[in-house]
Chains A and B, each alone.
Chain A
């Protein structure tokens, strides 16, 4: 099979500081004067350089879809910019075969004063689509966007959702052999994301080569046959998506489920440690979605606090509280031994309710009258497994179904 993308020994250095990036004339002049006065001052500080990419080698066969994962600042966008020829590499070379469409942002070049129709043509020209092709596809684009009668309204009057849909509709109809997509799913609602993913799957099936950056690992797993893991500008892994994503996850959450805390000298009660793990052992941090898990909290109580209670809550990374369980919820006769001085280990076992994803575990301790411990995000919890094709839900209760023959009531 022939390659659609080849990258050899690629490196990209950005220069920071020294008035080079977005400086002003005044800074440049004063810098120049200062340097002249210093006489023979160093021309440039090497420490101010950032290698956003270093020694990257890569080959993507035609028709493949490659996912790129990595932390913030790993160089993912930079790699795409080099592939798209938006910026030049410092060393090495990248090659692409065929027409390249880059979708680094939804709606690049949209102008608020122009109507939807005008923006479609402008945006399409920006993405390299000939006018005649756009004219022929205008109906499809409008259909796909669902903009309908707003087509001749200036886009500044659109809701942000309409704006996104129109912009994506244009991008989705670009005729590129190689499509470079950067994190466009980060915007838009669930329905929009589903459409984007569906469209990208179609493109992949029709023989286009797709390179896709996302922090949404589920989307990467679904769309991409191979994946590339960038870390600090270097390739950390490349290969089957499932393997690469697995390695990446293992590294990204090193024991985030187990932490210890220093004792708080000003409070009679302090959180000393927390551990989140699978009920039957297993390592901290990475848990299987299908298994019950245990939150184990170590609490130090210096002096007796009557009525001391402990609560553990779980919330999504964007702050939706899913669970909030208190020790006093269970109808036993109060918290009992927790109130007395000493170091207590309290564990809470939770059934497999949560969907795969990342969650924060918070710990609260106190009485009806005051809060003595509040540790937001005391531990991070990552559940892995399958969404079972329903990525939008937060909980799976695994309720019991029965189907029987119905007798007339």
Chain B
């Protein structure tokens, strides 16, 4: 056997960083973990992939009844059902990814305590299955767009970037919460509450144009606001997002950096305290 390099394990001095090259080397594990989650979710489910539509459609129904019919909320000049479906699609992508990433370490605790792998593979793998749900919803959306004759503009080509934004945001916040959850099991109660409030604080069922102009900048501190404005512009050709979207983007970036920092700092004790 050829003498290969030493691999060391010693106490970290100072701040830890995540080793992304190593994550790349473990990409097959990430893929298999994601695949496992997908298979397990759709196995023995009579309606299989159609369940992916359940949440966006339920939201569509309720919000159309309450906000459109009863409250008469405006919808940026597109049919309200389409408006809310795009909102729900990206909201579900974000909130579903966030819940999965938060639970990912505890859900894989036997792996965490029994084998070595870059820990960040777990939250990373847990957000990927959400893309399957997303593609199912997008097919439905495309059908609706075709039926109603609403055509997106050329900016539809930016769709992958918007998806990346939603996933990145879920991943970033999820990294922080997953680290907290390893220590405190009841963190998920807090998460459920937080996600519920966050939904109403985001322009899912109403347009952000409803927010008074002088508050737009503050409102954009909620990164989901900028995300949903962009998603609607990309898919429904509504008004292009205004300058506050940059605030949302910056906050997303900050949350990602924070998540990576918190995760990297907590990582070395995961196997001990989980």
Residues of A bordering B, CB below 8 Å: 2, 6, 14, 20-26, 28, 62, 81-98, 100, 102, 104-105, 108-109, 111, 113-114, 118, 121-122, 125-128, 130-131, 154, 177, 207
Contact = CB atoms under 8 A, between A and B. Distances in A.
Interface in B31-62: 31-33, 35-36, 39-40, 43-44
A111 B32 CA distance: 12
Contacts of B272: 14, 21, 87
Contacts of A24: 184-186
B17 to A, nearest CB: 15
A46 to B, nearest CB: 17
A93 B28 contact: no
B117 A126 contact: yes
B110 A108 contact: yes
Contacts of A28: 183-184
A107 B197 CA distance: 40
B110 A105 contact: yes
B168 to A, nearest CB: 25
The 6 closest A-B pairs by CB, nearest first: A93-B10, A25-B184, A125-B32, A95-B6, A88-B268, A87-B271
Contacts of B274: 22
Contacts of A130: 28
A22 B4 CA distance: 38
Interface string B182-207: 01111100100000000000000000
B11 A100 contact: no
B32 A25 contact: no
B7 interface: yes
A86 B113 CA distance: 7
B115 interface: yes
B22 to A, nearest CB: 11
Contacts of A23: 183-184
A84 B11 contact: no
Interface in B89-127: 108, 110-117
A97 B114 contact: no
Given A93-B10, A100-B116, A131 B39 contact: no
A125 B185 contact: no
Nearest to A105: B114
A214 to B, nearest CB: 17
Interface in B8-30: 8-12, 28-29
Interface string B234-274: 00000000000000000000000000000000001101111
A313 B12 CA distance: 56
Nearest to A131: B28
Nearest to B2: A98
Given A85-B116, A97-B7, A131-B28, A111 B184 contact: no
B28 to A, nearest CB: 5
Contacts of A88: 9-12, 268-269
Given A113-B40, A114-B40, 9 more contacts: A21-B273, A89-B11, A93-B9, A93-B10, A97-B3, A98-B1, A108-B111, A127-B115, A177-B4
Q: For chain B, give the interface size range.
A: 35 or more
Contact of B32 (A26, A91, A104, A122): A122
Contacts of A105: 110, 114
Nearest to B16: A88
A177 B28 contact: no
Nearest to B29: A125
A30 B36 CA distance: 39
A94 B138 CA distance: 50
B204 to A, nearest CB: 28
Contacts of A92: 10
B5 interface: yes
B43 to A, nearest CB: 5
Contacts of B12: 88
Nearest to A104: B114
Contact of B116 (A2, A102, A207): A102
Contacts of A109: 108, 110-111, 115
A105 to B, nearest CB: 5
A113 B9 contact: no
A378 B110 CA distance: 40
Contact of A22 (B28, B44, B185): B185
A6 B6 CA distance: 9
A243 B32 CA distance: 45
B9 A82 contact: yes
Which of B9, B10, B39 gathers most chain A CB within 10 Å? Answer: B9
B186 A95 contact: no
17 contacts: A2-B3, A23-B183, A24-B186, A62-B1, A81-B271, A86-B116, A86-B271, A94-B9, A95-B6, A95-B8, A98-B1, A105-B110, A126-B29, A126-B32, A128-B29, A154-B43, A207-B1
Nearest to A129: B28
B31 to A, nearest CB: 8
A305 B77 CA distance: 104
Nearest to A132: B28
A86 B115 contact: yes
Contacts of B112: 86
B194 to A, nearest CB: 13
B187 A89 contact: no
Interface string B169-189: 000000000000001111100
Nearest to A63: B1
A409 to B, nearest CB: 62
Contacts of B186: 24-26
A280 B190 CA distance: 72
B8 A93 contact: yes
A246 B160 CA distance: 66
Contacts of A108: 110-111, 114-115
Contacts of A84: 115-116
Contacts of B117: 126, 128
A121 B32 contact: yes
Nearest to A182: B114
B271 to A, nearest CB: 4
